[in-house]
Amino acid sequence: MDRFIIRGGNRLEGDIQIGGAKNAGLKLMVAGLLTGERLILSNVPKIADIATMRDLLRQHGIAVENVDAEGRTLSIGGPIESVEAPYDIVSKMRASILVLGPLLARAHEARVSLPGGCAIGTRPVDMHLKGLETLGAEIRLEGGYINARAPGGLKGDRIVLPFASVGATENLLMAATLAKGRTEIVNAAREPEIGDLVECLNRMGARISGSGSGTLVIDGVDALHGAEHAVMADRIECGTYACAAGITGGDLRLLGGRISDLGAVVRTLEEAGVEVIAEENALRVRRNGPLHGVDIMTEPYPGFPTDMQAQFMAMLSMADGASMVTETIFENRFMHVPELNRMGARINVHGSSAIIRGVPKLSGAPVMATDLRASFSLILAGLAAAGETILSRIYHLDRGYEAVDRKLAAVGARIERIRE
């Protein structure tokens, strides 16, 4: 397995290009199941999860082809030849569950393995299934698979989500585009990636209103057509590199980053002593003074995202005073804490909260990645630590971040990928 060797202590300075959003690109690829015509997606990130989704769509018979030499523009579309999403593909990535709604909407049946992905919590799919049943689907769970049928097609109805689940909102949204009549999704998630999906679906001929309001109204249509759409910039990648500027006392321009996408992350960075300045088609993030301890609670957008919790914890481990991070979304998302403590951090976990007492320095150590975002928290700690950090199991990182070593090395980091 590949690993990173990081020699810390350098201040980061320069420009980093923010890529297309993983959490948008995957869902936009799935939208290609809703039409037999070609969906052209540009600004697609070159990460492992995108390759997994490509394999899954091809399993269904959908053609996924590179339009450009770099593979950042994809052409997706074609007839559905199989309605089965098998375990060997779905187990690699939780977002695979999102083929369920589009398959039901277009083919009126689906057989989808229960999903895998990062081991950060149970993340049940109950809301997906109950919402689809409200739209008229017949669902049975057998042998680790979701077997679903909608013999007469899906029918619009009112769905009230008990929690603003991103995945459930996306699955039900896509299913409803081809349902008969009107569907209303109440307490829908408001993440920018959902707005990006709505924009793309409407370009494909869907009739969706209410994006960003918490209530989505979808008037079903008989068919969707092809379209062209650019994947939005990755707000989590942007926030992650902002933390890199913060922990190293650096000055970075994050090309493609937008304050409007970051929600509570900008406010929390500024409270911690990191300056965020909007420029034309970029964000400038810099720290000149000390870091300050802050308290964080993860919440659905526009609250503080759970996908930024680990990165902030690494940064706050070197802040003046104490910080508290409370995780309300996933119950197992503190697995990076023992690894950070191996590097000299002082973090104590009490139930769903972690108390961080800032230390003046961290020390390099051999550490192990446990999930996607935890991987980058350990890189951040290594960038600021004295000595050498060896990070193993970086296949987690490759699922969601592109060219990390090259991007960081270009702004002054001493980081090397060792291929094994």
Structural domains of the chain ordered from first start: 3-18+233-418 (3.65.10.10), 22-230 (3.65.10.10)
Q: Do 176 and 155 touch, CB atoms closer than 8 A?
A: no
Task: Find the mean pLDDT for residues 357-364.
Answer: 98
329 labelled as ligand-binding?
yes
23 labelled as ligand-binding?
yes
Task: In whole angstroms, give the CA distance from residue 111 to residue 137.
Answer: 13
215, β-bridge pairs: 186
Q: What pLDDT is attached to residue 116?
A: 53
- How far, CA to CA in Å, does 81 sit from each of 71, 86, 109, 112, 174? 24, 14, 12, 14, 19
Helix spans in 118-254 (H):
126-134, 166-176, 192-203, 235-248
Nearest residue to 150 (alpha-carbon basis) of 127, 179, 172, 123? 179
2 labelled as ligand-binding?
no
Surface-to-core class of residue 103, CB atoms within 10 Å of its CB (0-12 exposed, 13-18 middle, 19+ buried): buried
Q: What pLDDT is attached to residue 367?
A: 97
Helix spans in 135-185 (H):
166-176
Three-class DSSP category at 391: strand
Three-class DSSP category at 236: helix
- 393-407 pLDDT, tens digit per residue, is 999 899 899 999 999
**β-pairing verdict for 145-149 and 138-142:** antiparallel
Task: In whole angstroms, give the CA distance from residue 217 to residue 209.
Answer: 5
Residue 333 binned pLDDT confidence (cut-offs 50, 70, 90):
confident
Task: Find the mean pLDDT for residues 178-194.
Answer: 97
Q: Which residues are catalytic?
A: 118
Mean pLDDT across the chain: 95
- 230-280 pLDDT, tens digit per residue, is 999 999 999 999 999 999 999 999 999 999 999 899 999 999 999 999 999
Nearest residue to 323 (alpha-carbon basis) of 363, 291, 369? 291
Q: In what order do the strands lie in the sheet with 3-7?
A: 366-368, 388-392, 3-7, 414-418
Q: What pLDDT is attached to residue 119?
A: 42
Task: Find the mean pLDDT for residues 193-201.
Answer: 98
Three-class DSSP category at 168: helix
Task: In whole angstroms, give the CA distance from residue 167 to residue 248.
Answer: 34
Residue 122 binned pLDDT confidence (cut-offs 50, 70, 90):
very low
Three-class DSSP category at 360: coil
**pTM summary value:** 0.94
Angle at 188 between CA 183 and CA 194, to 5 degrees: 100
The answer to which of 156-165, 274-283, 368-377 has the lowest mean pLDDT is 368-377
Q: Do 129 and 145 touch, CB atoms closer than 8 A?
A: no
- 339-350 pLDDT, tens digit per residue, is 999 999 999 999
- 135-156 pLDDT, tens digit per residue, is 999 999 998 899 999 999 999 9
Q: What pLDDT is attached to residue 117?
A: 43
CA 344, 348, 349, 353 dihedral sign is negative
Q: Do 400 and 407 touch, CB atoms closer than 8 A?
A: no
Task: In whole angstroms, give the CA distance from residue 420 to residue 418.
Answer: 6
Nearest residue to 306 (alpha-carbon basis) of 273, 277, 332? 332
- How far, CA to CA in Å, does 70 sit from each of 21, 293, 400? 17, 42, 17
Q: Do 49 and 237 touch, CB atoms closer than 8 A?
A: no
Separation of CA 290 from chain center: 30
Is the confidence at residue 123, as pLDDT, over 60? no
